[in-house]
Amino acid sequence: MKKLFLLIVVILTIITSCTTVEFETPQPKNSVELSEFPKNALGIYLDDNNDTLTILKKSFKYGNKKSTVFHMAETLTPNKIILKKYNNYFVLNLRDTSSIWNVIMFRKYNKNILVYYINLGEKNKDEIINNLKNITATKEMKNEKGEIEKYIINPTEKEFKLLIDNEIFSKVTEFKKLN
């Protein structure tokens, strides 16, 4: 459980700001859970920060081997780390310690992997939040200072499609396949 929590913290620290969007349930709803990663995604990938992503049949490793702090490895596990498919995307659902889900989408692009996330660290944060609220009901979770720390959503299948169609999920990184 500690490894899962650290993985989530690392991923969120790298690809998001302090305010996050999390999900009440794995996404997309009513989609079948996959027991393994697709064959065409298996391999070793590198991003522009020299972080490595290794995808095996039922597990993945993410991090920079030079810095063991950021080196994580996890296995697909029901009710903990769930992989689903939606159109051309694979949706990785990571449960945190409070049973809320972080959702990361990826898709193959030629030999590479493009990673998508609801990134509220961009310049158009207010626009993304407004669009999010127009698509699905949101719960604002505040910290001790009264600042919004995260938004929790529970979109229907139709709303999840709208999140993608309205580019609420944005590309945060590209991993290039190593030969």
Q: What would the two tokens of residue 40 be? A: 């065409």
Cα–Cα–Cα angle for 47, 117, 159, nearest 5°? 150
Q: What pLDDT is recorded for position 166?
A: 94
Query: For 145, left (φ over 0), alpha (ψ -120 to 50), or beta?
Result: alpha
Higher pLDDT, 72 or 20: 20
Q: Is the confidence at residue 12, as pLDDT, over 60?
A: no
Q: Where are the domains of the chain?
A: 2-177
- Is it the case that residue 4 has pLDDT exceeding 60? no
Element (H, E) at 162: helix 157-165
Short-list 151, 154, 161, 101, CA closest to 129: 151
Length of the chain (residues) = 179
Q: What is the pLDDT of residues 70-126, one digit of tens each?
A: 566 789 998 899 999 999 999 999 998 788 999 999 999 999 999 999 988 767 889
Task: Find where tokens 């929790």 sit.
Answer: 152
What pLDDT digit, counting tens, does each position of 131-169 carry?
A: 999 999 999 999 999 989 999 999 999 999 999 999 999
151 φ/ψ angles, rounded to the nearest 5 degrees: -110, 135
Provide the 8-state DSSP code for 13.
H
* Of the candidates 142, 134, 118, 159, the residue with the CA atom closest to the CA atom of residue 12: 118
User: What pLDDT is recorded for position 70?
Assistant: 52
